[in-house]
Structure 1
Amino acid sequence: MDPRSEVLLRQAELFQGPLLIAGLAPDDLLGQLPNAAGWTWHAGDQALLDSRFAGRSHYGTEVPEVAFEAAVVFMPKSRELAHYLLNALASRLAGRELYLVGEKRGGIEGGAKILKAFGAPRKLDSARHCQLWQVTVENPPVAPVLEDLAERFELPLADGPLQVVSLPGVFSHGRLDRGTALLLQHLDDLPSGQVLDFGCGAGVLGAIVKRRYPDSQLTLLDVDAFAVASSRLTLAANDLQADVISGDGIDHAPLELDVILSNPPFHTGVHTDYRASETLMEKSGKHLRKGGEMRLVANTFLRYKPLIEAALGNCSVLVEDAGFRIYQAHRG
């Protein structure tokens, strides 16, 4: 069981009434707290939770429409996302209890400072390298409007500026990361047809590809509901259309692709997790049509070339710069 869940269960007597748990781990916590409901924005976690606790976990970017008398937030990696979650829940909990649990290395003490806006927070427990904080919401905020919290910025490009809309919690929130910036410089001569932007984030890569290759049929895929929402906003801001879908990994992507593009993720919260990226490479041949191309960018310390060669039989490095490599491979 996740150590944060273990800390909550040490205080289980506090959580016997109607409870909403935001950002929960896909473990047995809902099984131990029968009156609790979950709220997650991770498609893989939602699938696991729904398979075990059907109807009790809800996926999306907005507070789910369920009854709750108290709420717990699992501290996210992003402080901006923590602000949104805590304010969204505190707005529903006037005079009632809001809890925050998280790992010490995950910024729980900084997150606990956010609670001061609502009342007088206190630390209830410290164990398993985690802390549990509580506040009675004496000063409920106005419910935040998620789109109002978006970071909007413009990318100057040769074919005109691109408007980017990034929501709290999305990778490289409010800025263009160096890996994607490098890949954007090497998008020439892509095959036409079905294109996948895997791990689309705020939709920068997909939007640029759709603008440069308007006849392509573009799919953007991400595991995170905030990324999916961001990509849709970015496409709309540039009058572009594409399919944006949520799913945990390449298994949720279309088949018979002509191109897979990616700056693949390798973090889940504060933890390193290579599974999504490695599965992308291992299964790329299943999703690419014959002659189809995979082109991705990754940190130079990640040993992806052997994985790509094992899957597709070939892999070349298009460029190496500033700690990143762009890999290119084709399905024979």
Structure 2
Amino acid sequence: MEPKSEVVIRQHDYLSGKVLFANAPTDDLLSNLAQDIEPVLWTWNYNEFLYFQQRNANVHFGIELPESEFDQAVVFVPKSKELLNYILHNLASRLSEGASIFLVGEKKGGVERAAKQLQPYGEATKLDSARHCQMWQMTLKNQVQVKPVADWVQQYTVATPRGDLNICALPGVFSQNRLDVGTAVLLPYLTQVTSGKIADFGCGAGVISAYLSKLNPKNRIFALDVDAFALASTQLTFEKNHLPLEQLEVKAVRGIEDAPLFLHAIVSNPPFHQGIQTDYNASENLCKTSRRHLKSGGELWIVANRFLNYPLLIEQNYGQCTTKADQQGFKVLFANTQKKS
């Protein structure tokens, strides 16, 4: 069990009734709670949703709070400060005055900084500090009116040869405030991507998907991500730029294994972070197994940090890998499945 969960178990006498657990670790926390606690889980990570669903937990996946009522909430600190603000605001709009919101996190994950974000809603007290983690309790004094999702969007503009794109990014989404260097290096090469049925794996705020739509209104684009906030952001980006929504299908996925088959192309600035941890599994699997999702002659386009061993992995699985660009610490990599003669 993760240390964060152990701290919650140590203090579980403070918990009672129907308790919302937001961003809970995928461990044995639920099975160690007292019988009188009725847990409801909220996650925006599709892998975590499936984990809890397999354990018959009452779990909700999405960017909005579960519809069900609850008496208290336990929030496991996310990496993003903006995302924590979003979570706390939504909880303060739903819970009744006097209800407790507990905050749990690792010291290296910034739990002390995060505890300061409780202050607008009530007085916070540190309940426990153990195993390099802390647990805080805040009694809700200041309820708020829930804000529409649009109020949480950060916007920025990306210039392209086909005109500006207005990007809409929700809290916690990769590269929320500005275009990241990797995607900027990749964008000029999207004009070379074969048209047709294209997957944008790890779609983030939808920069790649939106540009592919601008390049060819006949492209069918599958925006794939593990994160509900990324999927919602991509949808908002399409709407903001008046791009045809019938072109777009947003889909929550575990990894590339959930991508459609018979794709003309897969384009990706692949993710390599899971919370505050570095995790290369999703991107390495993309290099190793994406081929089976492509048509004969289908293309793989990836941008990745120069130091990663993706060219070798791609070559092992496609028979070849071409470096289209090597600049600003990033490589644009290309491979295709050989057309059958």
TM-score norm. by structure 1 comes to: 0.97
Residue 282 (structure 2) pairs with residue 279 (structure 1): no
Q: Tell me which residue corresponds to 1:248.
A: 254
SS in 1 for 2:26: coil
Query: Which is worse superposed, 317-326 or 183-192?
Result: 183-192
Q: Tell me which residue corresponds to 1:304.
A: 310
CA distance in 1, matches of 2:329, 2:269: 14
Equivalent AA in structure 1 for residue 307 of structure 2? F
5+ residue gaps, structure 2: none
SS in 2 for 1:220: strand
CA-to-aligned-CA distance 1:153-212 (integer Å, 9 cap, x gap) = 222222211111110010011211000011002223221211000000000101001110
Equivalent AA in structure 2 for residue 180 of structure 1? T
SS in 2 for 1:185: helix
CA-to-aligned-CA distance 1:232-266 (integer Å, 9 cap, x gap) = 00011112221111111111110011110000000
Equivalent AA in structure 2 for residue 27 of structure 1? D
Q: Tell me which residue corresponds to 1:175.
A: 178
SS in 1 for 2:298: strand
CA distance in 2, matches of 1:2, 1:145: 34
Q: Tell me which residue corresponds to 2:18.
A: 18
1:2 shift after superposition: 2.1
CA-to-aligned-CA distance 1:43-92 (integer Å, 9 cap, x gap) = 010011101124x1110101101121100111000000000001111222
Q: 1:324 aligns with which of 303, 310, 330?
A: 330
5+ residue gaps, structure 1: none
Equivalent AA in structure 2 for residue 133 of structure 1? W
SS in 2 for 1:197: strand
Contact kept? 1:46, 1:57, Cα under 8 Å: yes
Q: Tell me which residue corresponds to 2:94.
A: 92
1:121 shift after superposition: 0.6
Contact kept? 1:87, 1:143, Cα under 8 Å: yes
1:149 shift after superposition: 0.9
Contact kept? 2:191, 2:215, Cα under 8 Å: no
Residue 60 (structure 2) pairs with residue 58 (structure 1): yes
Q: 1:40 aligns with which of 43, 53, 58?
A: 43
Equivalent AA in structure 2 for residue 149 of structure 1? W
Contact kept? 2:287, 2:317, Cα under 8 Å: yes
Residue 197 (structure 2) pairs with residue 191 (structure 1): no
1:144 shift after superposition: 2.8
Query: Which is worse superposed, 226-235 or 10-19?
Result: 10-19
1:142 shift after superposition: 2.2
Q: Tell me which residue corresponds to 2:166.
A: 163
Contact kept? 1:196, 1:261, Cα under 8 Å: yes
Q: Tell me which residue corresponds to 1:135.
A: 138
SS in 2 for 1:290: strand
Contact kept? 2:153, 2:169, Cα under 8 Å: yes
Residue 224 (structure 2) pairs with residue 229 (structure 1): no
CA distance in 2, matches of 1:143, 1:95: 18
CA distance in 2, matches of 1:152, 1:131: 34
1:106 shift after superposition: 1.1
1:30 shift after superposition: 2.0
Contact kept? 1:30, 1:53, Cα under 8 Å: no
Aligned-residue sequence identity (percent) comes to: 46
Contact kept? 2:46, 2:252, Cα under 8 Å: yes
1:321 shift after superposition: 0.6
CA distance in 1, matches of 2:213, 2:115: 42
Paired residues in the alignment total: 331
Equivalent AA in structure 1 for residue 75 of structure 2? V
The runs of at least 4 consecutive aligned structure 1 residues that moved more than 4 Å come to: none
TM-score norm. by structure 2 comes to: 0.94
Q: Superposition RMSD on alpha carbons, in Å?
A: 1.1
1:293 shift after superposition: 0.7
Contact kept? 2:44, 2:61, Cα under 8 Å: yes
Q: Tell me which residue corresponds to 2:273.
A: 267
Q: Tell me which residue corresponds to 1:206.
A: 209
Residue 71 (structure 2) pairs with residue 69 (structure 1): yes
CA distance in 2, matches of 1:32, 1:15: 13
